[in-house]
A and B are shown apart, each in its own frame.
Chain A
Amino acid sequence: MFKKPYTLTSPLVLTLCAAALVAACTDLVEPVDSEVTADNFFQTDQQFVSALGDAYSALTTLGGGGAPAQLNEATTDEIIVPARGQDWSEGGFWFRINNHQWNIEEGTFNGFWQDYFSGVNNANRLIFQFESAVEAGSADPDQAATFISELQAMRAFYYFWLLDAFGNVPIVTSFADAEANPSQPCSAGPQCFDEGRREVFQFVEQELLNNIDNLDTNVQATYGRMNKYVAHMTLAKLYLNAEVYTGTPRWDDALTHLNEIINSGQYSLAANYHDNFATQNEGSPENMFIVPYDRVFLVGMQLAMMTLHYGSQNTYNFQNQPWNGWSATQKIYESVIDPEQNPGPQGEVWGTEPTASDDGLERIQGTLDDRLGNFIVGPQFTSGGARIMDSGVFSDFDRNGPPLTFTPALNDLEAVACRQCAARIGKYEFEPNIPGDNLSNDFVIYRYADVLLMKAEALWRQSPGDAEALALVNQIRTRSGVDPFGSLDANRLLAERGRELFWEQVRRQDLIRFEGVEGGETRFNDPWQFKPVSQAYRNVAPIPRDQLEVNTNLVQNPGY
Chain B
Amino acid sequence: MKRKATPLFFVAVLVVLFLPISAFGQQEVSGTVQDSTDAQPLPGVNIIVKGTTQGTTTDVNGIFSLSVPSLSDTLVLSFVGYRTKEVPIDGQTQLDVDLAQQIFIGGELVVVGYGTQERRQITGAVSSIDAADFVTGNVNAPSELIQGRVPGLQVTTRSGNPNDDAEIRLRGISSFGANQEPLVVVDGVGGANMDNVDPNDIASIDVLKDASASAIYGTRGSAGVILITTKSGELQEGVSVDYNAYYTYEGIENRLDVLTGDEYRELSALTDFNVADHGANTEWFKEITQPGANIVHSLALSGGTENSTFRVSGNFRDRNGIQKYTGFQEIGGRLNFTQWALDRDLRFTVQLAATNKDHNFGFTDAFKFAGIMNPTAPVQEDGFENTGGYHEQDLFNYFNPVNIIEEGTRRGETRYFNGLLRADYELSALIPNLSISAQFSLQSEDEVRRNFYSRQHRMLGGATPSARGSGLAEQFYVDRRTELFETTIHYLGDVSPDLGTEFIAGYSFSDVVDEGFNASGGDFITDNVRFNNFGFAQDFNQGEGTVGSFRSTNRLIGLFGRANLNYRGTYFVNGSLRREGSSRFGIDRKWGTFWSAGLGIEVTNLVDISFLNSLRLRSSMGKTGQDAPESGLSLQRFAPQGNFFVDGQFIQSFGPVSNANPDLKWEEKTEINIGLDFEAIQSRLVGRIDAYNSVTSDLLFEVGVPVPPNLFPTTWMNVGELETSGLELSLDFLALRGGPDGGFSWDTGVIMSLYSDTKLNEYVTEDVQYLANPGSPGLNNPDLIRIKEGEPIGQLWGPEFSRFGENGEWLFINADGDEVAYGDLNFPDDEKILGNGLPDFQLGWTNSLNFNNFDFNVFVEGVFGHQLANMFSLFYSVPKQITSYNVLQEAFDLADLTDDPRWSSRYVENADYLRIQNATLGYTIPMRAGSPINRMRVYVSGNNLYTFTGYSGVNPQVRYQDENLGQSETGTTGGSLAPGIERRIEWYTARSISVGINVNL
Contact = CB atoms under 8 A, between A and B. Distances in A.
Interface in B890-925: 899-901, 903
Contacts of A508: none
B774 to A, nearest CB: 9
A392 B777 CA distance: 13
A115 B372 CA distance: 37
Interface in B700-735: 704-711, 713
B340 to A, nearest CB: 14
Interface in B533-553: 542-544, 549-553
Contact of B394 (A87, A298, A390): A390
Interface in B497-520: 505-507, 509
Interface string B627-655: 00001101111110111111110111111
A57 B642 contact: yes
Q: Per DSSP, are chain A's interface residues mostly helix, strand or loop, or mixed?
A: loop
Contacts of A14: 436, 438, 487-489, 506-507
A165 B636 CA distance: 30
Interface string B333-362: 000000000100110000000000000000
Contacts of A125: 656, 711
A181 to B, nearest CB: 6
A415 B707 contact: no
B778 A117 contact: no
Given A32-B632, A36-B638, A54 B900 contact: no
Given A56-B644, A317-B467, A414-B823, A172 B708 contact: yes
Contacts of A391: 276, 393-395, 884
Interface in A188-225: 220-221, 223-225
B267 to A, nearest CB: 14
B683 to A, nearest CB: 42
A385 to B, nearest CB: 11
B26 interface: no
B708 A182 contact: yes
A263 B776 CA distance: 51
A547 B828 CA distance: 19
B883 A297 contact: no
B470 interface: yes
Given A6-B425, A178-B709, A34 B551 contact: yes
B713 A118 contact: yes
B509 A92 contact: no
Report which residue of B276, B429, B770 has the largest number of chain A beta carbons within 10 angstroms of its beta carbon: B276
The binding surface of chain B is classed by DSSP as loop
A37 interface: yes
A391 B779 CA distance: 21
Interface in A93-145: 93, 103, 105, 113-114, 117-118, 120-122, 125
B767 interface: yes
B782 A35 contact: no
Interface in B644-671: 644-648, 650-657
B779 A313 contact: no
Interface in A41-88: 41, 46-47, 49-54, 56-57, 60, 83, 85-88
B345 A3 contact: yes
B554 interface: yes
Contacts of B550: 33-34
Contacts of A32: 631-632, 635, 637
Contact of A37 (B469, B636, B710, B884): B636
Given A36-B637, A393-B274, A85 B396 contact: no
A384 interface: yes
B557 A28 contact: yes
B27 interface: no
A389 B780 CA distance: 27
B708 A87 contact: no
A308 B802 CA distance: 37
A25 B470 CA distance: 53
B552 A388 contact: no
A317 B464 contact: yes
B880 interface: yes
Interface in A523-551: 545-547, 549-551
Contact of A172 (B466, B709, B900): B709
Contacts of A57: 641-642, 644, 653, 655
Given A60-B642, A83-B778, A90-B778, A28 B582 contact: yes
A167 interface: no
A356 interface: no
Tell which of A86, A92, A121, A401 has the most Cβ of chain B within 10 Å. Answer: A86
Interface string A245-262: 000000000000000000
Contacts of A10: 423, 436-438, 487
Interface string B521-535: 011000000000000
B781 interface: yes
Given A117-B707, A393-B883, A36 B654 contact: yes
Given A30-B635, A551-B706, A50 B652 contact: yes
B559 interface: yes
A86 B438 contact: no
Contacts of B883: 85, 392-394
A296 interface: yes
A439 to B, nearest CB: 14
Interface residues of A, number: 109
Contacts of B900: 85-86, 89, 415
B651 to A, nearest CB: 6
A32 B637 CA distance: 8
Given A10-B436, A125-B656, A113 B707 contact: yes
Interface string B565-606: 000000000000000011110000010000000000000000
A86 B884 CA distance: 11
Given A391-B276, A415-B899, A321 B394 contact: yes
Nearest to B276: A391
B645 A18 contact: no
B651 A182 contact: no
B1 interface: no
B222 interface: no
Contact of B657 (A35, A38, A299): A35
Given A83-B778, A90-B781, A393-B883, A225 B464 contact: no
A405 B544 CA distance: 34
A3 B466 contact: no
A313 B464 contact: yes
B620 interface: no
B92 interface: no
27 contacts: A1-B429, A10-B438, A11-B436, A14-B488, A25-B557, A28-B583, A32-B631, A33-B553, A35-B639, A36-B639, A53-B641, A53-B653, A57-B644, A89-B779, A89-B900, A91-B782, A92-B781, A118-B711, A181-B706, A182-B709, A310-B396, A311-B394, A319-B464, A383-B466, A414-B823, A415-B823, A545-B767
Given A17-B509, A34-B551, A391-B393, 13 more contacts: A8-B438, A33-B551, A35-B639, A56-B653, A83-B778, A86-B900, A90-B780, A172-B708, A178-B709, A182-B706, A324-B396, A394-B883, A435-B544
Interface of A: 1, 3, 6, 8-11, 13-14, 17-18, 25-38, 41, 46-47, 49-54, 56-57, 60, 83, 85-93, 103, 105, 113-114, 117-118, 120-122, 125, 170, 172, 175, 178-182, 220-221, 223-225, 292, 294, 296-299, 310-311, 313-314, 317-321, 323-324, 382-384, 388-394, 401-402, 414-415, 433, 435, 545-547, 549-551
Interface of B: 273-274, 276, 342, 345-346, 393-397, 423, 425, 429-430, 436-438, 462-467, 469-470, 487-489, 505-507, 509, 522-523, 542-544, 549-555, 557, 559, 581-584, 590, 631-632, 634-639, 641-648, 650-657, 704-711, 713, 765, 767, 770, 773, 776-782, 823, 827-828, 880-881, 883-884, 899-901, 903
Shortest Cβ-Cβ A-B pairs, 8 listed: A53-B644, A53-B653, A91-B781, A178-B709, A319-B462, A10-B438, A87-B777, A86-B778
